[in-house]
Amino acid sequence: MSGLAAALCAVVPVAEAAPAASSGQWVVTDYSGNFVRGGGVTSYTKLGTGRYEVTFDRNVAGCSYVATVADPGNGLVYNPGLVFTAGGHSSVNGVYVETKNLGAGLADYPFQLQVQCGGLWVATNYSGNFVRGGGVTGMTRLGPGRYEATFNQDVSGCTFAATVADPGNGLVYNPGLVFTAGGHNSVNGVYVETKNLGAGLADYPFQLQVQCGGLTVASDYSGNFVRGSGVTAFTRLGVGRYEATFDRNVAGCSYVATVADPGRNLVYSPGLVFTAGGHSSPNGVYVETKNPGGGLADYPFQLQVAC
């Protein structure tokens, strides 16, 4: 991987593979809250400003839901926002999603949602307690807003995406932020921090998804590639602006990301991350990171692509 990391300091031309086949449950929406594309989606409803319900082709009540504010094409997210998830309000096949502005008010934002029912994942409650998960052997609340999930395998080379999310089918009334890192106790662990919008540690329910293969990227604090899967190039385009290129066409896929330490340290300065289709090719994913005030700034992130 060290050779690849060195090669990925600049864009490496690659052949564009055929689009990846759809698998699993995911959805992409636009700025008006309309459905754009998805996998396993049977219906989609905008319930009101910043409130949506996606219905899938299977029961997802026992699964996890991670989402990111994201442009559905290859544009920019000029106005940063927040996204939260919960179980469906209409049926066990549904996922409820809310988007809010940085002032915590409901507002329409485009989002991309990925549902994970198998593999490695965890859902917690408002007190930081384990609710459900896949491959989980231990869950510890280390203190306010600090948690460690332990899985049944080494995940140190994987990526970790998370969302503040109600573990049932309620609402997240008090918006918060979530950040991830490698485990502090073992290579089987993932460390998670939740913070309020003022950047103070506080307990929030979250849902975490771990991907060890597929199409993923982890970057560092300077915007450099650290590790990933299916990656052929990674470029820092400028402050807070990056493009990851994969070994296939991902234009018809979904992209979720989390601000995350690439090792097992802490994210001291909280930030926001947004995704879009590649600006250079259909094999790419464009990523922006911003400070809580909405300004572009370099933050480490971890990206997961689902097709």
Distance, in Å, from the CA atom of 240 to the CA atom of 225, rounded to the nearest integer, reads: 14
Per residue in 4-53, pLDDT tens?
443 344 333 333 333 443 348 999 999 999 999 999 999 999 999 999 99
13 with 1: CB under 8 angstroms?
A: no
Kindly provide the b/e burial profile for residues 246-256, where b requires at least 16 CB atoms within 10 angstroms of the residue's own CB.
bbbbbbbbbbb
Cα-based torsion angle of the residue sequence 61, 66, 69, 71 in order, rounded to the nearest 10 degrees = -90
Higher pLDDT, 22 or 240: 240
Note the pLDDT tens digit of each residue in 162-200: 999 999 999 888 899 999 999 999 999 999 999 999 999
Exposed/middle/buried for residue 74 (C-beta within 10 Å: 0-12, 13-18, 19+): middle
- Residues 6 or more apart from 2 whose CB is under 8 A from it? none
Q: pLDDT-derived band of residue 284, with 50, 70 and 90 as boundaries?
A: very high
Q: Which of 305, 298, 303 is nearest to 220 (CA)?
A: 298
Q: Which residue has the higher pLDDT, 19 or 221?
A: 221
pLDDT at position 288: 98
Give per-residue pLDDT as tens, 123-145. Answer: 999 999 999 999 999 999 999 99
Residue 232 has pLDDT above 90, yes or no: yes
Which tens digits make up the pLDDT trace of 108-124? Answer: 999 999 999 999 999 99
| pLDDT on residue 19 | 40
Spatial neighbors of 118 by CB under 8 A, at least 6 apart, are 134
Average pLDDT (202-230) is 98
Q: Which of 6-20, 75-89, 196-210 has the lowest mean pLDDT?
A: 6-20
Question: Would you say the pTM of this structure is higher than 0.85?
Answer: yes
- The pLDDT value recorded for residue 135 is 98
The span from the CA of 147 to the CA of 49, in Å, is 32
pLDDT of amino acid 8:
44
Looking at residue 17, what is its pLDDT? 38
C-beta of residue 38 within 8 angstroms of C-beta of residue 253: no
Residue 268: the pLDDT is 86
What letter would DSSP give residue 103? Answer: T
Q: How many CA atoms lie within 13 A of 175 on its CB side?
A: 17
Q: Would you state the pLDDT for residue 37?
A: 98
Residue 1 has pLDDT above 70, yes or no: no
* d(C-alpha 302, C-alpha 179), whole Å: 10
- Give me the count of residues in the chain: 307
Does residue 96 surpass a pLDDT of 80? yes
Task: State residue 152's pLDDT score.
Answer: 98
Instruction: Compute the mean pLDDT over every residue in the chain, rounded to the nearest whole number.
Output: 93
